[in-house]
Amino acid sequence: MPTLCKPAVSVPEYVITMEDTLEFAKKVHAGKPQLPLALRLIERTGVRKRHIVQPIEKALEHPGFEERNRIYELESKKRCPPVIEEALANADLTTRDIDVIIYVSCTGFLMPSLTAWLINNMGFRSDTRQVPIAQLGCAAGGAAINRAHDFCMAYPEYNVLIVACELCSLCYQPTDDGVGSLLSDGLFGDAVAAAVVRGTGGTGVALERNASYLIPNTEDWISYAVRATGFHFLLDRRVPGTMEPLAPVLRELASDHGWDASNLDFYIIHAGGPRILHDLAKFLDVDSGMFRHSWATLTDYGNIASAVVLEALRRLFDEGTMPAGATGIIAGFGPGITAEMAVGRWTLDTPHPMDSGSIPASAGYLARDLAHTTKGGIA
């Protein structure tokens, strides 16, 4: 059974607090009629602080789309490798053991994808498959987990690396003063996360079933307007109410698997905002404390887009309370309106007796290379 191992997560060194956010919003958007409502909504997010890749003074500037994308490239190449190394170590693998890299990001654009740079600069095999996902926004973290699951079900010997690089502060648009834009300015933060889905072995969430769902006729509720100045985030006021139609979908996924979505052991839910977490807990009939890892992520880092589910999962690992066999659900939500969902069971790695010697699991990459050669090196 494919296993989602412990994620690694890193946030930038520059911190902006709730108080900073409110102060800068009042200064930059002074006199705008929507500002009082936006300030109240920002205060209700519960976001205590966020981390960003530049000092706030530079983040508030707009040097142009070209310069922002240059910063995105520079920062992603600097910040992704150490997070990837940690995620590989968590899975007891090396770069040579990875067969697929799924890279998700909606806050910058590179072609070729960063996956090509990672392969060339970190020692991944040249036949490593590349799967960049750029347009699923916050749902992409869940989508990456599900596509990794699919790959490992098709190729049980495969290991899949997931990398989420979200530098949301590079999308700030100082001229946008709609309530949705102003709210997003106080909600989103920057982060890099990575995790490995092992085809066999590993400790973590044994992925058993996944599903996708698109709420009909909501494609313009969360979107980017792509203009000369870059990505302009558009957020419809109806988005926070989407948990009512999505909760039955989550229930059905669990029910189809023989489980009750109201009675699971862990919930890793995208922390898009406080109402999403409140409403989903209500409609699933779950105590909101079961979403504690998502709440903590929102409080400490804000909405870090596709990286949220990996950060919330990291907190579950660190809590260290899950027994083998514990059941849970992972769900990410984003543009579409799209839901990417998975159910799984906590599993503890039990090495085969033949593996109990001094040779680590990751030392088998030469044998894996030979196996790929005998398969014709097909990628």
CATH code for position 109: 3.40.47.10
E strand intervals along the chain:
3-4, 8-10, 14-17, 49-52, 100-104, 129-133, 159-167, 190-198, 204-214, 222-227, 230-235, 266-269, 327-334, 338-347
Shared domain for 147 and 240, answered yes or no, is no
Answer yes or no: is 361 within a domain. no
Looking at 5, 80, 106, 138, which residue is catalytic?
A: 138
Residue linked to tokens 């023989």: 258
Shared domain for 182 and 226, answered yes or no, is no
pLDDT digits (tens, 9 = 90+) for 328-340: 999 999 999 999 9
Q: Could you give the residue ranges of the DSSP H alpha helices within 30-124?
A: 35-44, 56-59, 65-90, 114-122
Q: Look at 32-36, 110-114, 372-376 and tell me which has the smallest mean pLDDT.
A: 372-376
Shared domain for 135 and 231, answered yes or no, is no
Answer yes or no: is 372 within a domain. no
Predicted TM-score of the model (pTM) = 0.90
Based on the residue annotation, tell me whether 168 is a catalytic residue of this protein.
no
Q: Count up the domains in the chain and report the number.
A: 2
Query: Looking at residues 59-83, what average pLDDT do you find?
Result: 95
Domain extent, residue 42, equals: 3-202
Residues 168 and 235: their CA atoms lie apart, in Å, by 15
Query: Looking at residues 222-236, what average pLDDT do you find?
Result: 88
Q: Could you give the residue ranges of the DSSP H alpha helices within 228-364?
A: 243-256, 274-284, 292-301, 308-319
C-alpha distances (whole Å) from 138 to each of 103, 143, 184, 318, 331 are 13, 9, 13, 23, 10
Contact assessment for residue 53 and residue 73, using Cβ atoms and an 8 Å cutoff:
no
- Asked if pLDDT for residue 227 goes beyond 70, the answer is yes
Structure tokens that stand for 86 in this block: 């940690």
Q: Which are the contacts of 140, defined by CB distance < 8 A and separation ≥ 6? A: 104, 105, 106, 133, 134, 164, 305, 306, 332, 334, 340
pLDDT digits (tens, 9 = 90+) for 157-215: 999 999 999 999 999 988 888 888 888 888 999 999 999 999 999 999 999 999 999 99
